[in-house]
Chains A and B, each alone.
Chain A
Amino acid sequence: MSERTAAPAGQADGRTDDQADRRADRRAERRAERQAEEGERRADPRRRNNRAWLLVLPVVVSVAFTAVIPLMTVVNFSVQDIFSPGDRLFVGLEWFRSVSRDPEVRAAFVRTLLFSAQVLLLEIPLGVLLAVSMPRRGVWVSVTLVLVALPLLIPWNVVGTIWQIFARPDIGLGGWAVNNVLGLEFNYTLDATDAWITVLAMDVWHWTPLVALLAYAGLRSIPDPYFQAAQIDGASAWATFRHIQLPRLRGVLTIAILLRFMDSFMIYTEPFVVTGGGPGNATSFLSILLSKIAVGQFDLGPAGAFSLLYFLAVQIVCYVFFTVLTRTGR
């Protein structure tokens, strides 16, 4: 193999040398011309024009103010023990060590991860199912779109309030129905499992529409001939979904999974309104614990370290998801 390619490679080299020479000549000529032109305008012809960097400036400034500077403030807090505005002590990585070893934080981490996993397992299939069963054309398209998108239009704390009342066993429609129609004992203020189910159901109700809308957009982009081809082959509905629709949904589902993971892993408002993290600490997710430390106890150092670890966890999981999702099925 190497013997056979040796001769042509040599030839090729000879050719590229020639070409390179010619190109270098041409380049030298052109440079000379340009220098002659610029020499009249500028004293130093070798100076390069760097003005294009100015175009990046707006991005640099806005990212600095929206992301980098606030983040650096947190980094600053995380390495100090702050007693009062004028009295502080550099403690290095002490807070990172103590936060990462704190059993309460660890329990909340596991709890949040479990919650996110359940959210994804419920919302992604449900959203896809919803999208597949939505009409592809006709007057019903806009009707279903509006109906499906309705929960997304409600402010998060209102969603919390709605469910806080809806799930109450005494005056809430949902809670009352579960107790009196289904005959199951249900009280989210007393029972840890009931509280968990309430928060999970609320998140599914609130965010499945987002997955459905993303998936629907993905499905709508599939040209009709694909479905006709499957029909001609006599493919079943499942085969059509598995081999035509699902592969086309990969892109939007990657986005949906990332969005839903990030959002559910950082969930705060809704459980705060509904359960306040309780009963006990059954629904006390990372964000609820964090705000208790940062705002309730005003322990800025540990809260800063906690925030950075939290941030890191979200980044790592998202990176893993993204890598895995973009590689599978290729």
Chain B
Amino acid sequence: MTLIIDGVSVRQRGEIWLDDIRLELPSGMTTLLGPMGAGKTTLMRVAAGLSPPDRGRVLVDGRDVTSVSVRKRSVAFVYQQFINYPSLTVYDNIASPLRLDASFPRSDLDRRVREVAELMGIGDLLERRPAELSGGQQQRTAIARALARQVDVLLLDEPLANLDFKLREQLRADLKSMFAEAPGVVLYSTADPNEALSFAAPTVVLGEGRVLHTGDVADMYAEPPTLAVAATLSDPPLNLLPGVVREGRIDCLGASFPAPGAHGDGRGVVLAVRPHQVSIERGGPDLLEFPAEIRLAEVTGSSTYLHLMPAGGRHLVAHLEGARLFDPGEPATAYVDPAHLFVFDEVGGRLPATSAAGADLHG
């Protein structure tokens, strides 16, 4: 089973929502990662057949289905909102796509509904109506509805985004094993890089209606090819610092480090470092030092986000272990290992200046 998106473009009111998307998705799970407004939902709607593309084709197993009505396709869709039939019980909700599928044998219906419900952990809620369920249970019902019919293309559009943290973690763990059993193509969209990383599936990064990168998500995290991919894959957001190439070195806010791969004296570059790789204690030799002033310390229980303002004026956030108290206004020094810096050129392309960067994934 393959789903091919062949040069799909979508325009709405003069704006480009999708720009020449070309993807070939095999059976099994693929993650579609992108920030809000990247075009994830639009792409999924086109893939499902809910809205036609302005240009391009959608092929399932080599067959052009672009103009085939969604009613006649073998697709299932799970939405960010919990979409179930409000007047039907959980059982009937799960059974509804099977009942409407003429090719599904009636004798298997009960067995299949119970099997899927059991799989989703809602086997004991079959007689309830959606209004009597928690948000997590409602979404489990919606996913069970989608899994019941063994479809060619299963689309999940940010299914965990409206759930609270704990439920999200639980359901995410369950989903991983469930998708392994789905027979067709599973396309799972999310705006949360941690979710994409934890699924560890082949990942498509989408940004502003374009495919930015495709490949293994862990590789992408370790070696982001562009600034946009690095930013999409970083939560909390990347720290960005201005740098200048000078005689095989890069200068940055008074500090300097060797960068043999960087060419062109006086050329401006963007340095990016993840907050957890900024420290305020000297952890080794050859670190970049940024004398700074503490602006704010956010304590989130197990960790602390320290907002710093280095001399030269660029906001820098350090993600520190443990709950730690700081007084705003006090001086501190931020230390960054040059090996953890990603160097990008003015247009966001990665420079091979510090190819050892990110090799240490867990930093």
**Chain B binds chain A:** yes
* A contact residues vs B (CB 8 Å cutoff): 223, 225-226, 228-229, 231-235, 242-244, 246-248, 329
Pick the residue among B50, B71, B81, B83 that contacts A234 (CB under 8 A). Answer: B71
Contact A234 B101, beta carbon cutoff 8 Å: yes
B13 to chain A, nearest CB (A): 13
In this complex, the member of B48, B75, B77, B85 whose beta carbon has the largest number of chain A beta carbons within 10 angstroms is B85
Of all A-B residue pairs in the complex, the 7 with the closest CB atoms, nearest first, are: A247-B87, A247-B86, A243-B85, A225-B79, A234-B71, A234-B100, A233-B97
Closest chain A residue to B76, Cβ basis: A232
Contact A228 B87, beta carbon cutoff 8 Å: no
Chain A residues positioned under 8 Å from B71 (CB to CB) = 231-232, 234
Q: Taking the complex as formed, is B222 at the interface, i.e. its CB lies under 8 A from any CB of chain A?
A: no
A239 to chain B, nearest CB (A): 8
* B contact residues vs A (CB 8 Å cutoff): 48, 50, 70-72, 75-77, 79, 81, 83, 85-88, 96-97, 100-101
Contact B77 A229, beta carbon cutoff 8 Å: yes
18 contacts between A and B (CB under 8 A): A223-B81, A228-B77, A229-B77, A229-B79, A229-B83, A231-B71, A232-B50, A232-B70, A232-B77, A232-B97, A233-B96, A233-B100, A234-B72, A243-B85, A243-B86, A243-B87, A244-B86, A247-B87
B46 to chain A, nearest CB (A): 13
Q: A225-B81, A228-B50 are in contact. Are A248 and B86 (CB under 8 A)?
A: yes
Pick the residue among B48, B75, B88, B97 that contacts A243 (CB under 8 A). Answer: B88
Q: How far is A211 from B317 in the complex, measured between Cα atoms in Å? A: 57
Known: A229-B83, A234-B71. 4 other contacts (CB 8 A): A225-B79, A231-B70, A232-B76, A233-B100
Chain A residues positioned under 8 Å from B86 (CB to CB) = 243-244, 247-248
Closest chain B residue to A226, Cβ basis: B83
Closest chain B residue to A242, Cβ basis: B87
Contact A244 B85, beta carbon cutoff 8 Å: yes
Chain A residues positioned under 8 Å from B50 (CB to CB) = 228, 231-232
Chain A residues positioned under 8 Å from B97 (CB to CB) = 232-234
Q: How far is A243 from B88 in the complex, measured between Cα atoms in Å? A: 7
Closest chain A residue to B96, Cβ basis: A233
Q: How far is A242 from B88 in the complex, measured between Cα atoms in Å? A: 10
Q: How far is A223 from B76 in the complex, measured between Cα atoms in Å? A: 18
Q: How far is A243 from B145 in the complex, measured between Cα atoms in Å? A: 15
Chain B residues positioned under 8 Å from A242 (CB to CB) = 87
Q: A233-B96, A235-B100 are in contact. Are A225 and B83 (CB under 8 A)?
A: yes
Contact B100 A329, beta carbon cutoff 8 Å: no
Q: How far is A3 from B74 in the complex, measured between Cα atoms in Å? A: 55
A250 to chain B, nearest CB (A): 9
A294 to chain B, nearest CB (A): 47
Q: How far is A246 from B76 in the complex, measured between Cα atoms in Å? A: 24
A137 to chain B, nearest CB (A): 13
Closest chain A residue to B151, Cβ basis: A232
Chain B residues positioned under 8 Å from A229 (CB to CB) = 77, 79, 83
Chain A residues positioned under 8 Å from B72 (CB to CB) = 234
Closest chain B residue to A329, Cβ basis: B87
A213 to chain B, nearest CB (A): 22
Chain A residues positioned under 8 Å from B76 (CB to CB) = 232
Chain B residues positioned under 8 Å from A226 (CB to CB) = 83
B104 to chain A, nearest CB (A): 12
Closest chain A residue to B85, Cβ basis: A243
Chain B residues positioned under 8 Å from A228 (CB to CB) = 50, 70, 77
Contact B48 A232, beta carbon cutoff 8 Å: yes
Q: How far is A31 from B79 in the complex, measured between Cα atoms in Å? A: 53
Closest chain A residue to B88, Cβ basis: A243
A219 to chain B, nearest CB (A): 14
Q: How far is A235 from B75 in the complex, measured between Cα atoms in Å? A: 14
B4 to chain A, nearest CB (A): 20
B274 to chain A, nearest CB (A): 35
Q: How far is A90 from B86 in the complex, measured between Cα atoms in Å? A: 58
Q: How far is A244 from B87 in the complex, measured between Cα atoms in Å? A: 8
Chain A residues positioned under 8 Å from B79 (CB to CB) = 225, 229
In this complex, the member of B48, B75, B86 whose beta carbon has the largest number of chain A beta carbons within 10 angstroms is B86
B253 to chain A, nearest CB (A): 48
Closest chain A residue to B87, Cβ basis: A247
Q: How far is A283 from B309 in the complex, measured between Cα atoms in Å? A: 83
Chain A residues positioned under 8 Å from B48 (CB to CB) = 232
Chain A residues positioned under 8 Å from B96 (CB to CB) = 233, 235
B97 to chain A, nearest CB (A): 5
Q: How far is A235 from B93 in the complex, measured between Cα atoms in Å? A: 12
Chain A residues positioned under 8 Å from B100 (CB to CB) = 233-235
Q: How far is A231 from B79 in the complex, measured between Cα atoms in Å? A: 14
In this complex, the member of A225, A226, A228, A229 whose beta carbon has the largest number of chain B beta carbons within 10 angstroms is A229
Closest chain B residue to A246, Cβ basis: B87
A325 to chain B, nearest CB (A): 15
Closest chain A residue to B82, Cβ basis: A225
Closest chain A residue to B101, Cβ basis: A234
Chain B residues positioned under 8 Å from A223 (CB to CB) = 81, 83
Chain A residues positioned under 8 Å from B87 (CB to CB) = 242-243, 246-247, 329
Chain B residues positioned under 8 Å from A246 (CB to CB) = 87
Closest chain A residue to B49, Cβ basis: A232
Chain A residues positioned under 8 Å from B83 (CB to CB) = 223, 225-226, 229
Q: How far is A51 from B259 in the complex, measured between Cα atoms in Å? A: 75
Closest chain B residue to A243, Cβ basis: B85
Q: How far is A225 from B48 in the complex, measured between Cα atoms in Å? A: 13
Chain B residues positioned under 8 Å from A243 (CB to CB) = 85-88
Closest chain B residue to A235, Cβ basis: B100
A218 to chain B, nearest CB (A): 13
Closest chain B residue to A240, Cβ basis: B85
Q: A223-B81, A225-B81 are in contact. Are A232 and B88 (CB under 8 A)?
A: no
Chain B residues positioned under 8 Å from A248 (CB to CB) = 86
B326 to chain A, nearest CB (A): 33
B146 to chain A, nearest CB (A): 9
Q: How far is A28 from B76 in the complex, measured between Cα atoms in Å? A: 62
